Amino acid sequence: MKFHIKLAAVIITLIIVSQFTAAEDWTMFRHDLEHTGETSDVIQNPENLELKWKFQTGSGVFSSPAISGDYVYAGSWDNYVYCLNKNTGELKWKFQTGYGVSSSPAISGDYVYAGSYDNYVYCLNKNTGELKWKFQTGSGVFSSPAISGDYVYAGSRDGYVYAFTVESCPYVCCINTMGYKNKECLSNDYSCVNNKCVKVKNKENGETCSGNSECRTNNCFKGVCKEKGYECGSDTDCSSSKYCSNNKCETLKPINSSCSRDSECKNKNCFKGICMGEGYDCDLDSDCSSDQYCSNNKCETKKKDNFSCLKTAECKSNNCVHEICRPSNPYCGDNYCDSGEEYSFCFSDCGYVNKATITIAGTIILLLLIVIIIRRYKEWRREVKEVNLYKVVGRK
């Protein structure tokens, strides 16, 4: 016999009572497109029906369950769509929407469809609960989806009835129930282009655009909506007389202005945070690389041996000896007997100098001795004369 079942879910539990000899699927609200609410299933001993199990959700259940195979699907005002084992009541999966679900699910193939008061129609994998797609309408979706052939139909409180292909992504311009024409997309911000709803106005920052009029900020920069005043992402976006700073093109800075990089300066030379003249490389040797030294604010290549120098840093060897770059310091062979050089170490620099020194010293000493001897001789002569005179006077 045929058994007329009225489905009602007005409390926070799902109650399943069944004693069917063969369980027919109940894939949408009131069983079928005609909403007959009837099934060909035969109930054995209907007078003995009793509670088999119940499952508690987080809020009221207004959604009528749908059945496919061994599983029951229902929505709850706690924002979830549930999948339960119809024989045990055990939870297989649940999917969270953005608001309460009073829409009764509809099932086709491997997918279950449900509407939510968060304005979306959802397509979920009936085996895993994984989201395949969702479509935003203009208001809450209390309507239970209906399935016919390759299309799913659902109504919304925005005044429209929507049609989607069963498995494909629904972001297309939806047709009305009469199929006369494409429905206007969600708002005047959208337009139907190649059978797709494409946003053409009031786009948010980061959305692609083809002109300023498409952006909420009226600023389409390189095909992307940007905030007002956004002029550049790099220096190359600005003219040759400007540089990019905080997404704005600023005038290049003159000499002695503070800076953080070369491109900010007219002369393209930011030295130690100050715009300097072109070619200004250094103040100190340490400003240059290891194979250079600083001379007149330019970094010059260090000199090889035997080139003139004024300081050690100018020489590759780091030895400026008597204003000549030398391989060592002291340097033997420069005719200077420097500290650290000795006769035995550098005869060419120090040998002849020592002989000359000895000769001069000996001459000086000899002269001093001669002077002393002469003085002593003169003094002796004077003393002799005085003695002789005394003797002569005494005789008289």
pLDDT digits (tens, 9 = 90+) for 88-104: 889 999 999 989 998 88
Query: What's the burial of 353, exposed, middle or buried (CB within 10 Å: 0-12/13-18/19+)?
Result: middle
Its CATH class, for the domain covering 3-183, is mainly beta
> Out of 127-136, 158-167, 285-294, 342-351, which region has the weakest mean confidence (pLDDT)?
342-351
pLDDT at 194: 59
> Out of 1-10, 30-39, 60-69, which region has the weakest mean confidence (pLDDT)?
1-10
**More confident position, 106 or 14:** 106
pLDDT at 188: 67
Q: Which residues of 214-234 are buried (b: 16+ CB within 10 A; e: fewer)?
A: bbebebbbeebbbeeebbbee
pLDDT at 270: 95
Give residue-wise pLDDT tens across range 135-188: 888 889 988 888 888 788 888 998 888 888 766 544 444 433 333 234 445 566
> Out of 77-81, 201-205, 214-218, 385-389, which region has the weakest mean confidence (pLDDT)?
385-389
pLDDT class of 395 with cuts at 50, 70, 90: low
pTM of the full structure:
0.41
Do residues 218 and 207 lie in contact, with contact meaning Cβ atoms separated by under 8 Å?
A: no
**More confident position, 349 or 117:** 117
Do residues 249 and 239 lie in contact, with contact meaning Cβ atoms separated by under 8 Å?
A: yes
pLDDT at 324: 94
**More confident position, 125 or 48:** 125
Do residues 214 and 201 lie in contact, with contact meaning Cβ atoms separated by under 8 Å?
A: yes
**Over residues 56-75, mean pLDDT:** 88
Do residues 156 and 140 lie in contact, with contact meaning Cβ atoms separated by under 8 Å?
A: yes
pLDDT class of 232 with cuts at 50, 70, 90: very high
Cα distance between residue 297 and residue 293, in whole Å: 10
pLDDT at 104: 87
Residue whose pair of structure tokens reads 């299933």 in the numeric block: 41
Cα distance between residue 155 and residue 10, in whole Å: 22
Of 198, 111, 190, 100, the C-alpha closest to 141 is 100
